[in-house]
Structure 1
Amino acid sequence: MPKTLLGLIGHPLGHSLSPQMHNEQFRRLGLDGYYHLFDTPTEELQESVQALRQLGTAGFNITIPYKVSVMAYIDRVDSSAERIGAVNTVVRENEELVGYNTDGEGYLESLLAVRSLEQIKNANILVIGAGGAARAVCYALSLRRPNNIILVNRTQEKAEQLKSHLEDIASIEVVPKEEAESRNSEYDILINTTSIGMSPETDRSPWPLKNVKTSALCSDLIYNPWETRWLKEARKAGLDTLNGSGMFVNQGALAFKYWTGQEPDRKAMHSLVENHLKGEHNAE
């Protein structure tokens, strides 16, 4: 067995690019390790975690739909992951399985490639959706104290729950969709955290762009397709755009460093993802 066994637990996993991304880094860095997909039905989640524990895994990633439920089967959760309420990375530390969340910081690093910290601090930010990804993104943003975060979600109660987790560290508003749309001219950054527009339902768009200021950034956490219909519409309207590939690569790179202690080549990771997706391969 390789010295470093890693993997991804989720269901369904489809054609995830995580194994290619991580295994290429093992080869580049000369590390004896292997990253594997563990497609796990709901009723087998506890067994899968226990099996990886017994196999001596260095850690694993968690994706939909287990980012919350996995917390019941590991030993400890990092304070920021606890605050977010979701885990996407598990690390073996002194025989304990410890949960972290690299999604939020991974997103923030991708955002900082196109907007300065000062611009983020002065921004009015619209966040569409209130699921696990939104929680991680809002937490990372909240720590940078933006001017205002406006939350809109199909179920307002879920958005209110997210707000209650973070309102002690950031200014957060929950508003109905119609009101949020009427305030389009206020937003400096618009972030889609929902799956609307994701392959195969690529003809859908999560938010109207009417009256959005020309200096605004439209950011979509989706990276398959590489350019969603929404980002295509934004680009054609002259707006800045950011897809989800940077977040995917960065969260993976942060996890890789947790597991191995080594910094992977993010540029190579990004190239691999881009080449696969622009070559019309599917990714998860």
Structure 2
Amino acid sequence: MTVTGKTTVTGIIGWPVSHSLSPVLHNAAFQALGLDWIYVPFPVAPERLAEGIAGLKAVGVAGFSVTIPHKVAIMGLLDEVDPQAELIGAVNTVVARDGRLTGYNTDGIGLIAALREKLGFDPKGRNILVLGAGGAARSAVVSLAAAGAGGVTIVNRSPDAAAALAHLVGARLTGTRFDAREMPLLSDPGFIGSFDLVVNTTSVGMAGDCFPGLALSSLKSGACVYDMVYAPPVTPLLAQARALDIPCANGLAMLVAQGEAAFRIWTGGAPPAGCMEGALAAVL
């Protein structure tokens, strides 16, 4: 890759940001297509976010990804926010056009794409259990409802947070039934047996931890498990699902699919099939 004064610049902002794998995804795709584009990390401290956004806009960056801790705070600094990102309450992708910055959220797009690609799962009319009530859960809940889920039940360590999320999204997406329940129900076979899909949106599993008592063995025939965690590639949740022959997948495909969606927003075209996933798999 040769960088010149004509090279189009994209990147990612976060604090910290040096650990991000997004440069691997996007630079692999730019190179594969022969595009004179580059993707670089921009460390931006929370207290300097407004300055950072103004600087990126001033120097003509074509677009950028947004990661922790800026996904919510950035919304008030943009010229426009996509309606679905507004409902999710977070932005992870920004594009610059005609001097204006528009924010999107591609996490939900990535989840639905990953479910369909890796598990052959279509949310339409299905009953889904979401573990967690944070930012990732909010994105998952909105995207699953937008894809036609029949019912979404949110379980979280804080029942109040789960109830607040169910109420907030349920008021806007009335075609899906929303419910919030407490963690002890995860060990109830009658409760677990009603779901077609279990989605973990939390960090549980990253350090080898698990959901105590989760009765996966009670899932109905054909039900699936999706874990947004991708490192380690096999979490205790996925190990349990595999032992029970339950179709399951980790968050790698979601990470790739959300990156592909951002790539399309910036360039207007798609990356070569399998390019991003191959580059990421090689690094991991």
TM-score under structure 1 length normalisation: 0.91
- Give the corresponding residue for 1:187: 195
Query: In structure 1, which of residues 222, 229, 234 is the aligned counterpart of residue 236 of structure 2?
Result: 229
Q: State the distance in 1 between where 2:124 and 2:27 align.
A: 37
- Preserved contact between residue 91 and residue 99 of structure 1 (Cα < 8 Å): yes
Q: State the distance in 1 between where 2:175 and 2:7 align.
A: 41
Matched, 1:107 2:111: yes
- Give the corresponding residue for 2:95: 91
- Give the corresponding residue for 1:258: 265
Structure 1 residues 14, 3: closer, same or farther in 2, change over 3 A?
Answer: closer
Q: State the distance in 1 between where 2:204 and 2:121 align.
A: 27
Instruction: Report % sequence identity.
Output: 38
- Give the corresponding residue for 1:139: 142
Matched, 1:28 2:32: yes
- Preserved contact between residue 196 and residue 205 of structure 1 (Cα < 8 Å): yes
Within a 5 Å distance, the mapping from 1:1-284 to structure 2 comes to: 1-113=5-117, 114-117=119-122, 120-167=123-170, 168-182=174-188, 183-198=191-206, 201=207, 203-206=208-211, 208=214, 209-277=216-284
Code of the aligned partner of 2:209: R
- Preserved contact between residue 126 and residue 196 of structure 2 (Cα < 8 Å): yes
Code of the aligned partner of 2:131: I
> What's the offset of the Cα at 1:236?
1.4
Code of the aligned partner of 1:205: C
SS at match of 1:5: strand
Q: Which runs of 5+ in 1 are unaligned?
A: 278-284
Code of the aligned partner of 1:262: G
SS at match of 1:48: helix
- Preserved contact between residue 8 and residue 62 of structure 1 (Cα < 8 Å): yes
Q: Which runs of 5+ in 2 are unaligned?
A: none
Code of the aligned partner of 2:244: A
TM-score under structure 2 length normalisation: 0.91
SS at match of 2:193: helix
> What's the offset of the Cα at 1:14?
4.0
Q: State the distance in 2 between where 1:63 and 1:79 align.
A: 19
- Preserved contact between residue 10 and residue 62 of structure 1 (Cα < 8 Å): yes
